[in-house]
């Protein structure tokens, strides 16, 4: 399996791992702030803000019509010219969406059956222009695979959002503390991008540049709309049918799988998209296999640990009143893992201008997800999570089958890179279950269970796929310890 690494590039792989590491560091800070907020605010507070964020998430799919993403696949000679047009379109759309959201916020309150959602949503609408001011800068950094800029900007978002939200929650601001933190974080991220990315936009729309941006961006927008529908229909229907408190429990149950597994897919997609776009099409299959292997090597152990240790994690981090989120979290771990598995193939299709494949998969998936949740939402939040997980798993398998044909990898080669982390993940569950049965206390269970599970996973993976471990080590630490020892030797 040496060819995939050379096809994808050691720089890209190393960047992917370090980007994920830095992203997890930022998400750890988010987790700290959420843990504090969970003890200061009620499930209903979280549910109210989740209502408002559901609306903004749906509208965010058309926030810039995909024109910033189109810069990543644009020819080098056209990037600067198209960037000004992309920035101008993004800002104009951001202002329009903010005004539209504020105007329609009372209707959203009626739709959710909670009039107190309207003012929260009206203020959250400011996030559209705040984000639009920096989205082109972010795309240019992504195109250059500039991880330092991405990390600094996202850390600014995380730190400012958390500190603002916690400070206001202590002051008794309730749900408004979450809203203010969200806006403050977006503003901090945009400021950081302007400071770090050497792009100073000139407001203009060049008619020659616009068609090329909109052709690719339009297809991405359709895909984003489908993805947003799938990702938010559960929030909409839970809030409407079951109420704000259940939505708050569901939202918190999603928090850890989202932070630690789904964000892996975010990072992988950001890094792989520009990397795949620069590859010869004949190398795409090998690059896909490499990225799939390492995505699974990271995502599978995190998923197993979250599923097995869900109860002590929730009780330790968030407190006893969130115990009803445990079962939801365990099911949503499967959903998050299925999403992460689908990212390498999906990114390869985007980079190859085959977004149509993703749209053809997205339409039936959206229909099945929406239909199943509509039918079963009255059965409770765990059943809704199961609907999401089942549909995601089905289409993850379908996507891998398509990849074996469209990317020319074959089912056998996909199986060869997927079975080692799956076997190691199954093995690591055993010590976690033993610790759960024998150790009292949530914190003690975590302190004993997590290291034992990690050790068994690493040992099993070493036994079944030692070559993958060696390549991972060489990718993350190219100089190795021997290089440092060599450098320390006196020269003759």
pLDDT in tens, 158-176: 889 888 988 988 888 888 8
Domain boundary among 192, 208, 240: 240
Does residue 282 share a domain with residue 255?
A: yes
CA dist., res. 224 & res. 227, Å (int): 5
Q: How confident is the model at residue 487 (pLDDT cuts 50, 70, 90)?
A: very low
> What's the pLDDT at 6?
43
Tell me if 21 is assigned to some domain: no
> What's the pLDDT at 461?
92
Q: How confident is the model at residue 13 (pLDDT cuts 50, 70, 90)?
A: low
> What's the pLDDT at 426?
95
Does residue 428 share a domain with residue 295?
A: yes
Does residue 194 share a domain with residue 94?
A: yes
Q: Mean pLDDT for the chain?
A: 80
Tell me if 66 is assigned to some domain: yes
> What's the pLDDT at 239?
82
CA dist., res. 479 & res. 482, Å (int): 7
pLDDT in tens, 337-363: 998 888 888 777 776 667 778 888 888
| Residue ranges of E strands in 33-72 | none
pTM attached to this predicted model: 0.67
Does residue 132 share a domain with residue 269?
A: no
- Does 263 score more than 90 pLDDT? no
CA dist., res. 49 & res. 181, Å (int): 12
- The mean pLDDT value for 403-419 works out to 85
Tell me if 437 is assigned to some domain: yes
> How far apart are the two ends of the chain, measured CA to CA in Å?
40
Portion of the chain with pLDDT greater than 70, in percent: 79
Domain boundary among 216, 240, 264: 240
CA dist., res. 37 & res. 156, Å (int): 19
CA dist., res. 295 & res. 344, Å (int): 8
CA dist., res. 122 & res. 125, Å (int): 5
Does residue 129 share a domain with residue 182?
A: yes
Identify the residue with better confidence: 459 or 298.
Answer: 459
Does residue 286 share a domain with residue 258?
A: yes
Query: Apex CA 299: angle with CA 408 and CA 233, to 5°?
Result: 90
- The mean pLDDT value for 284-289 works out to 79
- The mean pLDDT value for 41-56 works out to 76
Identify the residue with better confidence: 111 or 74.
Answer: 111
- Helices and strands (H, E) in the chain, number of each type: 21, 0
Domain boundary among 195, 210, 240: 240
Does residue 280 share a domain with residue 234?
A: no
CA dist., res. 182 & res. 165, Å (int): 8
Instruction: Say which DSSP state 370 is in.
Output: H
Identify the residue with better confidence: 113 or 192.
Answer: 192
Does residue 424 share a domain with residue 301?
A: yes
Q: DSSP letter string over 199-252?
A: --------TTTHHHHHHHHHHHHHHHHHHHHHHHHHHHHIIIII-HHHHHHHHH
Question: Which segment of 50-54, 310-314, 359-363, 487-491 scores lowest on mean pLDDT?
Answer: 487-491
Does residue 145 share a domain with residue 173?
A: yes
- The mean pLDDT value for 150-161 works out to 84
Total domains in the fold of the chain? 2
Could you list the residue range(s) of the whole structural domain that residue 266 is in? Answer: 1-8+243-475
Does residue 251 share a domain with residue 186?
A: no
């Amino acid at each position: 399996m040496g060819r995939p690494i050379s096809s994808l590039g050691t720089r890209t792989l190393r960047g992917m791992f370090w980007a994920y590491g830095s992203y997890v560091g930022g998400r750890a800070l988010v987790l700290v702030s959420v843990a504090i907020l969970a003890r200061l605010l009620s499930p209903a507070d979280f549910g109210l803000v989740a209502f408002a964020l559901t609306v903004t998430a749906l509208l965010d799919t058309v926030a810039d019509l995909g024109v910033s993403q189109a810069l990543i696949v644009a020819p080098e000679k056209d990037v600067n010219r198209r960037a000004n047009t992309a920035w101008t379109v993004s800002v104009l759309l951001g202002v329009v969406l903010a005004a539209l959201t504020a105007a329609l916020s009372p209707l959203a309150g009626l739709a959710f059956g909670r009039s107190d959602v309207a003012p929260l949503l009206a203020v959250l609408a400011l996030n559209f222009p705040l984000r639009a001011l920096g989205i082109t800068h972010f795309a240019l950094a992504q195109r250059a695979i500039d991880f330092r800029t991405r990390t600094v900007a996202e850390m600014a978002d995380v730190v400012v959002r958390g500190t603002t939200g916690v400070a206001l929650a202590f002051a008794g601001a309730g749900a408004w503390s979450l809203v203010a933190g969200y806006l403050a974080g977006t503003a901090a991220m945009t400021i950081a991008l302007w400071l770090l990315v050497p792009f100073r936009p000139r407001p203009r729309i060049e008619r020659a540049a616009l068609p090329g941006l909109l052709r690719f961006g339009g297809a991405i927008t359709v895909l984003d709309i489908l993805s947003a529908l799938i990702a938010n229909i559960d929030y909409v229907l839970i809030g409407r049918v079951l109420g704000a408190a259940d939505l708050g429990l569901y939202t918190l149950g999603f928090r850890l799988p989202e932070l630690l597994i789904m964000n892996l897919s975010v990072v992988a997609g950001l890094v792989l998209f520009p990397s795949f776009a620069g590859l010869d099409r004949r190398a795409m299959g090998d690059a896909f296999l490499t990225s799939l292997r390492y995505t699974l090597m990271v995502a599978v152990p995190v998923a197993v640990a979250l599923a097995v240790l869900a109860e002590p994690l929730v009780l330790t981090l968030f407190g006893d009143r969130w115990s009803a989120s445990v079962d939801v979290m365990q099911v949503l771990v499967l959903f998050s893992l299925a999403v992460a598995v689908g990212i390498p193939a999906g990114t390869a299709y985007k980079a190859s201008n085959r977004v149509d494949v993703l749209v053809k998969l997205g339409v039936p998936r959206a229909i099945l997800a929406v239909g199943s949740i509509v039918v079963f939402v009255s059965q409770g939040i765990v059943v809704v999570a199961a609907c999401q997980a089942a549909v995601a798993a089905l289409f993850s398998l379908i996507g891998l089958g398509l990849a074996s044909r469209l990317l020319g990898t074959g089912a056998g080669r996909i199986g060869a890179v997927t079975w080692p982390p799956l076997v190691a993940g199954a093995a690591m569950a055993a010590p976690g279950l033993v610790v759960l049965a024998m150790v009292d206390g949530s914190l003690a269970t975590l302190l004993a269970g997590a290291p034992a599970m990690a050790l068994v996973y690493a040992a099993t993976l070493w036994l079944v796929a030692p070559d993958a471990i060696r390549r991972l080590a060489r990718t993350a630490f190219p100089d190795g310890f021997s290089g440092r020892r060599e450098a320390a030797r006196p020269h003759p």
